[in-house]
A = this chain, B = another copy of it.
Amino acid sequence: MTTLEVRTRQRIETIDITGLVQEAVEPDTDGICVVYTPHTTTAIAINEGADPDVAHDIERNLAALFPKKGDYRHVEGNSDAHLKSILIGPSETIPVEGGKLLLGQWQSIYFCEFDGPRRRRVFVRTQAET
């Protein structure tokens, strides 16, 4: 298993980690790759990487669903971040062939920061098919 270090620079940030994850996949392996974030105010997503406006639209429209100041009881003031993390989810599982992630032509793997800036970790585990 490989642990990636991700440093975020803003409260809300969408960072393309496709290259880092691909480097961490075991070479010549057929199977699956699990990308997992162990934090409660971040998430892993897969979507279009070519146009940065897509990341912008995600950030803006999730903020509309769960505004920073909303109907929240949690006193740390980051309930919006917890809610987004739960909806997007802490992991993605991607098929692997010959050591290569079988992402679609337009797919990138995103690390989603919802309560930065912070130092974050991402676990990448390749499971070989038997």
Q: Which residues of A contact B (CB under 8 A)?
A: 1, 30-32, 34, 36-40, 45-48, 51, 53-54, 56-58, 60-61, 64-66, 70-76, 79, 82-83, 85-95, 97, 102-107, 123, 125-130
Contacts and interface: CB of A to CB of B under 8 A. Distances in A.
A124 to B, nearest CB: 9
A54 to B, nearest CB: 5
A29 B74 CA distance: 36
Contacts of A66: 61
Interface secondary structure of A, over-half rule: mixed
B95 A92 contact: no
Contacts of A56: 73-74
| Residue from A40, A73, A86 whose CB has the most chain B CB atoms within 10 Å | A86
Contacts of A102: 36, 38, 123
State how many copies of this chain the complex holds.
3
Given A86-B58, A88-B87, A71 B79 contact: no
Given A56-B73, A86-B47, A39 B104 contact: yes
A74 B125 CA distance: 33
